[in-house]
Amino acid sequence: MSQWQTRFSISGRTALITGASKGIGARICEVFADAGADIIAVARNASELEQVAQRVRELGRTCQTIVADLADISQIEHLAKTALVEVGTVDILVNSAGVALVAPALELAASDWDLTMAVNVRAPFILSRLLAPPMIAQKWGKIINISSQTGVIALKEHAAYAASKGALNALTKSLMAEWAEHNVQVNSICPTVVLTPMGEKLWSPAEKSGPFLAKTPLGRFGQPVEIADLALYLASPAAELINGEIIMIDGGYSSI
């Protein structure tokens, strides 16, 4: 294997990925497996998780599935314990699970706010706290938070979602400050609209997508594999100097 391939390889590593049953999380499972990692896939839907696991196994890697609702602290604790018993150390954690309950601020229910914060902020914090000690002990670890463009820029009807992703970005920097000395990198990826099945459903109307794309220099939305490729870079040895970063992947929207 040539040197550049070694630098970008995650062969021999184990990655735990939440929100793994569909969309960005599922694509990250496949890309990471193709780069040599064994996968622990976490989501709420068992049958969809098994489909992802089958694709990972076809790439020659192992895939353990764990069904869990990340709004429930006890289920987060159980899945972390299960993963550590199985593999000893989770080398790479990708917090990809999230909920987007979109509504005008004046109509946003307090229960929707609480659920958004529980899944999008509290769950990544608890999982990171539970899985980081073995990373620290081995002096190698990667935590990648899938945040959002809306954690940085303004978007109507996204009060809870934007607040949660802004908080996730701040959490990224705080965890970096504590764990960088142990060679654990913590970074955040902030995508534009990504054309997952959910993204296509929400953003297919031209009256909604048109004004947004008009502000995007590249003129298009993202694809799940583009987010997965960036996550792979951050998970690899090639990115060890990158730490505490909030990385926009939005076709230039936030730069103008």
For the annotated catalytic residues, the residue numbers are 161
Beta strands in the chain (DSSP E): 14-18, 38-43, 63-67, 92-95, 141-146, 184-191, 246-249
**Which residues are CB-neighbours of 49 under 8 A, at least 6 positions away?**
20, 21, 41, 42, 43, 65, 67
Taking a C-beta distance cutoff of 8 angstroms, is the pair 76, 70 a contact? yes
Distances from the Cα of 167 to the Cα of 69, 124, 125, angstroms: 20, 11, 11
In sequence order, the β-bridge partners of residue 38 are 14
Cβ–Cβ contacts within 10 Å for residue 176, how many? 18
Residues 88, 89, 93, CA angle at the centre, nearest 5°?
140
